[in-house]
Each structure stands twice: as structure tokens, then as C-alpha cells.
Amino acid sequence: MDEEMVALDANATWELVVLPENKKAIGCKWVYKVKHNADGSVNRYKVRLVAKGYAQTYGINYVETYCSLAKMTTIRAIIAMAVTKGWSLHQMDVKNVFLHGDLQEEMYMEQPPGYVDQTHLNLVCRLKKVLYGLKQAPRAWLDKIGQYLVTNGFQTSNVDFSLYVKKTNHGIVIIVIYVNDLIITGDSDADIFDLKKFLKQKFEMKDLGELHYFFGIEVI
């Protein structure tokens, strides 16, 4: 929880302000999760501060929420193509994924349980970044990384908007995005290495190396 608060603070996720008379602050809570490996063993314990997005009001503090997630058909097709062509498959994990999204709406939230500023009990958090639980969180993140990839030479697939392809001097490099999990492949390991380095410059990411397990699919 302390680490999460440090990350939120470093990202300038909010600022403490007096709640305007015509505004309402939504609540938040801590959510705990155990992440497992393919063999069922514990990988790590995770904790997230989650905004109570169910209290949001359409047209006031959110509008569009739809976002395109990678289709399982696309994921299977990319894996099958990589196997056929002998390409390596790599995986990356985005840390605090939704915190990278920019918040367009005016949003206020109560201070996190257990971390209330005792010198400013009457203040609330004016959100500057998207937080887990907000209805627009996935859309804001995927818009952010999508724009970043497109402005740097990638093209979006017409059949799956979470699939991006870039032509290079060596051939092509492919990236599939499923929220915070990324699959990367292509016909040049040098291009894959460059893409990983390129993404780390913009977003805080964890390189998981070669792909071993992805949404129920075990890769050997």
C-alpha cells in the first residue's frame, strides 16, 4: 500500500483541494489480489487503490467508456504466425497501467483510507490522472499508448484496434495490447529489443522476457 501511494504521488495523480459546493466527491477503496504463475504457484501480491466508479454520473464526470481490447482470436493468430515463422515471442507488463492515462473530466475523490492527511481532513483529492475503477480508465490508457505508437510509425490493424504493426528495415514488428499486458513479436530480435527500449522511455514497464503464459495459454 505504501508503494502504491508512492507511485500515485510520483505520478502527480491528484492534488488536495476544497470540494466546490456544486461538486460531489466519490469514494475509494483498497483492493488486494494474488497473481499466480502458470503452475499455480504465487507470483506476487498486488494491491491497488480503486476509485468507486459506480458513483460516477454520465455526462458530468464521464462520457465515453468504450475501448477495444485484443480479441482472443487475434492473440491466437499472432502466436500461431510466430510459431510458423520461427519468430520469438516476448511479453511486457505495464506498471500502474491506468495511471498513465490523462483525465479530461473534472473529478473529485475522497482521500484514501488509512492515508488521510491529518492536517487537511476537510480536503478532497482533485484527480489529475486516471485512477483504477473510473469508468473511463481503460479508454484513457489505450488512447494514450495508441497515440504514442501511431506517432512513432506504427499502424493500427483494421480488424483489431489493439494490434499494431510497424515496417522496419528488417521486416515488421508487431505488438498486441490487452490492458497492461503486451505481446511483442517480429522477424528481428533487434527490432523487438528497440521496441522494448522505446516503450520503457515513455511508460514504466516490466520486461517479462519470452512469453510463457498469457490468459490461459501456456507457451512452450
Condensed to tens digits (0 to 9), the pLDDT of residues 186-212 reads 998 888 998 898 888 888 888 888 988
Instruction: Quote the pLDDT of residue 206.
Output: 86
66 falls in which pLDDT band (50, 70, 90)? low
HEC secondary structure over 85-146? HCCCEEEEEECCHHHHCEEEEEEEECCCCCCCCCCCCCCEEEEEECCCCCCCHHHHHHHHHH
Condensed to tens digits (0 to 9), the pLDDT of residues 141-152 reads 787 888 888 988
Query: What residues contact 165, with CB distance under 8 A and at least 6 apart?
Result: 154, 155, 157, 172, 173, 174
The Cα angle at residue 139 between residues 136 and 141, in degrees rounded to 5: 105
Computed over every residue of the chain, the mean pLDDT equals 84
Instruction: Quote the pLDDT of residue 37.
Output: 78
Instruction: Quote the pLDDT of residue 114.
Output: 93
Condensed to tens digits (0 to 9), the pLDDT of residues 126-184 reads 988 878 777 777 777 787 888 888 988 899 988 888 899 999 888 899 999 887 888 99
Instruction: Quote the pLDDT of residue 56.
Output: 58
The three cell numbers of residue 158 are 483494421
Residue 95 has pLDDT above 80, yes or no: no
**CB–CB of 166/197 below 8 Å?**
no
Residue 27 has pLDDT above 60, yes or no: yes
Nearest Cα to 199, choosing from 103, 94, 74?
A: 94
* Mean pLDDT calculated for residue range 115-126: 92
**Strand 14-17 vs strand 172-178: parallel, antiparallel, or unpaired?**
unpaired
Distance in angstroms (rounded) separating the CA atoms of residues 184 and 193: 10
Instruction: Quote the pLDDT of residue 55.
Output: 58
* Mean pLDDT calculated for residue range 108-128: 92
